[in-house]
Amino acid sequence: MFCPKPRGECPGASSWDHSPDVREETAMHDHRRLGRELELFDTDPLIGAGLPYWLPDGAAVRHALEEYVRAAERRAGYRHVYSPVLGKRELYEISGHWSHYSDDMFPPMELGAEQVVLRPSLCPHHALIYRSRSHSYRELPLRMAELGGMYRSELSGVLGGLTRVRAIQLNDAHIFCTPDQVADEARGALEMIRRAYEALGITRARYRLSLPGPGGKYVAGPEMWRRSTALLTEVLDRSGLPYETAEGEAAFYGPKIDVQVADGAGRESTLSTVQVDFHQPERFDLHYIGADGAKHRPVMVHRSVVGSVERAVAHLIEQHGGAFPAWLAPVQLVILPVSEAELPDAEALARRCAGLDLRAEIAGPERGSLGARVREARLVPYQVVIGAREAAVGEVTLRLRGGRRLDPLPAADVLARVGALVGAHGTRLWDDAVPAKA
Ligand SMILES: [Zn+2]
């Protein structure tokens, strides 16, 4: 359980997690400033605007997030694919992107007699992968996932940090299914989103049913729009989630459920999405063989659990003020030998952490007094102090981010319990219910 109040104002439960005071100072700040200060990502004018690179600590956060998503998808029956970030112009003419979305696409590159385009979405590639093999109704729903690159030709004036970028890594998936399976698949996707937000500590999110609006950017087909809107409305109504409808926010090929989050300045953006698409299966002439032996048209459900990793990490930086849930933190444990004499014990503990896939770092006495080192590591979830007395008996003194200090525990117990909490992808830093001696 996480208590949003400053530690001093906590209503009671001492086992609740508190982020350090720095959270109150920085939570509402811009992820761009924090990203630089915490050395998570940066940009270089020679690489270009809207093309950030990830520093090792940022890459560790991103890797943890991507692995969480891939594992959740594997458990939910998705199969992962890889597809190239380029495609021929004809591909996007068929998908409809060329006529409905070209303002957001990079200009095509001439390659001999061909034109190739940096892809604006992964859907056309996935439709072709589906089409490359014949499918029986028994294979449906067929859930195809990829954390893949896509590109958006944003104007340089609006670029910044990780939220407005030209190169996007999208947590994407397409579910090819029968019309009867759409509602269950959309519900399953919403449940994955709910669980991910719980793991990520995202507490404020608004659900929106995004419908077409006036203007010509949408594909035609009133019956198709009516059916897909009815399906998503039913899913939302039955979910019990509060939601609002917004006209003019649909994808060009269909309506969608968008999950909206706000940044420190109150600006809203879409993180997660679930979309129903009758259009692209038609355009790509997708089919499956039904129980009757005849060809039938599948529906495509497009869904993203955490959206683009850039926007997701930007939101997590702002939401947590850099004090990430332990499973996401770039450094999960900082090991603090009190003096030079405990350095070998600290190094041995760091090796054990590495062996357990825990990200640990040693902050030795050369980096200042113990108090100064604890302050410097205030965003690290677990601060492990080893003094002469602890070293003699193989124990450590653990401080949790936020200031709580535990009685000395055997180092093996600490690692086992931290490993279990990290592996459970929760937001709490400690569980007093678990016996100290496991
Ligand atoms: Zn898609």
> Closest by alpha carbon to 372, among 338, 322, 343?
338
User: How far is ligand 1, taken at its centre, from the CA of residue 351, in Å?
Assistant: 43
CA distance 81 to 2: 36
Cis amide linkage into residue 281, ω under 30° from 0: no
CA distance 36 to 47: 17
Question: Which residues are close to ligand 1, an ion, with C-beta < 5 A?
Answer: 123, 302
pTM of the shown model: 0.89
User: How far is ligand 1, taken at its centre, from the CA of residue 253, in Å?
Assistant: 10
Q: Write out the chain's pLDDT in tens, 438 residues.
A: 334 444 434 433 333 444 444 343 444 568 888 998 999 999 999 999 899 999 999 999 999 999 999 999 999 999 999 999 999 999 999 998 998 888 889 999 999 999 999 999 999 999 999 999 999 999 999 999 999 999 999 877 667 788 889 999 999 999 999 999 999 999 999 999 999 999 999 988 999 999 988 876 777 788 888 989 999 999 999 999 999 999 988 988 889 999 999 877 778 889 999 999 998 999 999 999 999 999 999 999 999 999 999 999 999 999 999 999 999 999 999 999 999 999 999 999 999 999 999 999 999 999 999 999 999 999 999 999 999 999 999 999 999 999 899 999 999 999 999 999 999 999 999 987 665 444
User: How far is ligand 1, taken at its centre, from the CA of residue 143, in Å?
Assistant: 12
User: How far is ligand 1, taken at its centre, from the CA of residue 40, in Å?
Assistant: 29
Burial 80-100 (b: 16+ CB within 10 A, else e): ebebeebbebebbebbbbbeb
User: How far is ligand 1, taken at its centre, from the CA of residue 36, in Å?
Assistant: 32
- Is the Cα torsion angle 179, 182, 183, 184 positive or negative in sign? positive
User: How far is ligand 1, taken at its centre, from the CA of residue 175, in Å?
Assistant: 9
CA distance 414 to 326: 14
User: How far is ligand 1, taken at its centre, from the CA of residue 300, in Å?
Assistant: 8
User: How far is ligand 1, taken at its centre, from the CA of residue 173, in Å?
Assistant: 7
- Find out whether 147 and 106 touch, Cβ atoms under 8 Å: no
User: How far is ligand 1, taken at its centre, from the CA of residue 302, in Å?
Assistant: 5
Phi, psi dihedrals of residue 275, rounded to the nearest 5°: -130, 145
User: How far is ligand 1, taken at its centre, from the CA of residue 172, in Å?
Assistant: 7
User: How far is ligand 1, taken at its centre, from the CA of residue 373, in Å?
Assistant: 47
**DSSP codes of every residue in 11-73:** -S-TTSB---HHHHHHTTS-HHHHHHHTTSEE--TTT-TT--EE-HHHHHHHHHHHHHHHHHH
Which H or E run includes 295? strand 295-296
User: How far is ligand 1, taken at its centre, from the CA of residue 191, in Å?
Assistant: 19
How crowded is residue 114: how many other Cβ atoms within 10 Å of its Cβ?
11
How crowded is residue 25: how many other Cβ atoms within 10 Å of its Cβ?
10
